[in-house]
Structure 1
Amino acid sequence: MQLDRISRNILSILQQEARITNQELADRVGLSPSSCLNRVRKLEQEGLIGPYLSQLNLSALCRSVTVIATVRLKDQSTDAFRAFQQATQQHPEVVECYTVSGSFDIFLRIVAPDMTRYNEINDQLLDVLPGMVNISSHVVLTTVKPFRGYPLEALLED
């Protein structure tokens, strides 16, 4: 799908202000409300927008610990990767999982209620491939720059 300036503006605004009204969005991008809504629906149908999520203030909501875990697999087979990746799906506390290049194979972000629960998850992930998994845990102390959207202006250059 080709993205013109208006569609790019719609994407930029929606990623920062997902609850904006269609009327306000239309005003800001210079379209009628019906044209704007049609564009948003087309962007959704093309899979460029969605799912819609709310960013929660977790520290105000509850106690939690966030751990960035780097994983090395001694077995580099497709089956080993698949088994480990499927195991991460069994834990809702694993909120992100990336297969990466470099000195480790998998990057996880885990948000647990406490270190006891994190240790349980860690042990269960180690047991997926006994003796074949090395997990390094890095407890997040402070979030300096939380994710607030993609730099679309830089990524969607003409």
Structure 2
Amino acid sequence: MKKKAIDHIDLKILSILQNDARITNHELSNKVNLSPSSCLQRVRRLEEEKYVDRYMAHIDLDKICRTVTVILTVSLHDHTNENFDTFNRAVAEFPEIVECYTVSGNFDYYLRVVCPDMKRYLELNDALIERMQGTANISGHVVLENTKPFDGYAIDKLVD
């Protein structure tokens, strides 16, 4: 299916959906001044064209269990495709690694790790170090407080 250019109404729909994915089509159509059928067509098209990747709920882990969040910075000693591939495969094996970015600057990766406790974090850290066999420096930074949690993209500020 050929992608249709998105317009300001599509952007408004995306902005609303990212903050309230459970909004009814009727409520959404009222907010963007479209008929319910036109609005639903647009939402379906945005989903089909992968502007909407998936719908997720934000879970308040503090209400469920205790956790420790650690930000890891990783620097590979040799910037070979093999080392990057090895590290990417290792990261994929740990569900506690909830985000991983390849970045520019003083280190190569930025990871967010959420574990039930420090014991599990240390096990994960040791496993990563072992997997990389001395080809990476890994530095951990325990998160003390999340002072600005992710709350969606400022679509209106990102798009002209």
Partner of 2:87: 84
| Residue identity in the other structure for 2:116 | P
Partner of 2:53: 50
For normalisation by structure 2, the TM-score amounts to: 0.96
Which of 26, 39, 42 is 1:39 aligned to? 42
Partner of 1:95: 98
Alignment of 1:141-156 (within 5 A): 141-156=144-159
- Percent identity, aligned pairs only, is 52
C-alpha separation in 2, matches of 1:88 and 1:142 = 24
Partner of 1:60: 63
SS of the aligned residue for 2:132 comes to coil
Which structure 2 residue ranges, 5 or more long, are not aligned? none
C-alpha separation in 2, matches of 1:78 and 1:127 = 19
Partner of 1:2: 5
Q: Does 1:140 align with 2:138?
A: no
Most deviating of 124-133 and 65-74: 124-133
C-alpha separation in 2, matches of 1:4 and 1:62 = 42
C-alpha separation in 1, matches of 2:121 and 2:159 = 38
Cα offset, 1:50, TM superposition: 2.3
* CA RMSD between the two structures: 0.8
Which structure 1 residue ranges, 5 or more long, are not aligned? none
C-alpha separation in 1, matches of 2:88 and 2:131 = 10
For normalisation by structure 1, the TM-score amounts to: 0.97
Deviations, residues 5-38 of structure 1 (Å, cap 9, x unaligned): 1111101100111110000000110111111011
Which of 106, 109, 118 is 1:106 aligned to? 109
C-alpha separation in 1, matches of 2:12 and 2:151 = 16
Partner of 1:70: 73
In the alignment of these two chains, the number of paired residues is 157
SS of the aligned residue for 2:50 comes to coil
Cα offset, 1:73, TM superposition: 0.7
**Structure 1 consecutive aligned stretches of length 4 or more whose deviation exceeds 3 Å:** none
C-alpha separation in 1, matches of 2:87 and 2:16 = 37
| Residue identity in the other structure for 2:32 | V
| Residue identity in the other structure for 2:64 | L
Q: Does 1:123 align with 2:126?
A: yes
SS of the aligned residue for 1:7 comes to helix
